[in-house]
A and B are shown apart, each in its own frame.
Chain A
Amino acid sequence: SQTIHQWPATLVQPVGSPLSLECTVEGTSNPNLYWYRQAAGRGLQLLFYSVGIGQISSEVPQNLSASRPQDRQFILSSKKLLLSDSGFYLCAWSPGGGGPSTDTQYFGPGTRLTVL
């Protein structure tokens, strides 16, 4: 079965510091990978998605970037955090290929980021 991991689970960072959040998926190959942010009381905002190694698409211009160095690894980064970057960051995967199963996304446990 497939498993998705995220770390760290919780992070408190000062404004202006760098950020690196990691997501890995087990039990599948060539997944689509996604980064979302969920602010308190608001829905899920898609930040980045990737359909393959080195292929990253951004949905929202912001202070963040993403990379996919390996097939099942997805990293969210920032060089300098802003207060507005605080939130709950979720990684998700779906089967690749563009067929019906591509629509179904499975989420990781999330990272709660507080920027002070």
Chain B
Amino acid sequence: QKEVEQDPGPLSVPEGAIVSLNCTYSNSAFQYFMWYRQYSRKGPELLMYTYSSGNKEDGRFTAQVDKSSKYISLFIRDSQPSDSATYLCAMSPLNAGGTSYGKLTFGQGTILTVHP
């Protein structure tokens, strides 16, 4: 079983739709959660990060973490064609797990297309 599972999609939605992207994980040591957006042939761009359970909002984006269920989500409201990209979840133990480097575990990425 992979430590992080993410539905690869692809996911296709009309412009203006609410998009829900999800990851599940098995390692209870994960305490720090991130979402990256990756446009085609580009490097991943950090969208949001959170340490705690609950919701964190940034504009049209909301990150949700449920540590009891080991489940994280990214919601995109009023989706736009410019949101079309691959979305990667990533997570790690807090404080780099006691190491001196950040060891992230990534999901496989979900391909999202928002059509006009």
Contact = CB atoms under 8 A, between A and B. Distances in A.
Contacts, number: 77
A97 interface: yes
B102 A105 contact: yes
Interface stretch (B36-44, B55-63, B73-81): B36-44
Contacts of A41: 8, 108
Given A96-B100, A103-B96, A104-B34, A110 B106 contact: no
A112 B42 CA distance: 10
Interface string B79-114: 000000000101010111011111110111100000
Contact of B95 (A34, A46, A102): A102
A65 to B, nearest CB: 18
Interface of B: 8, 32, 34, 36, 41-46, 49, 51, 88, 90, 92, 94-96, 98-104, 106-109
23 contacts: A6-B43, A32-B101, A32-B102, A41-B8, A41-B108, A43-B109, A46-B104, A94-B101, A94-B102, A97-B100, A98-B100, A98-B101, A99-B95, A100-B95, A102-B100, A103-B32, A103-B104, A105-B90, A105-B102, A105-B104, A107-B36, A107-B45, A112-B41
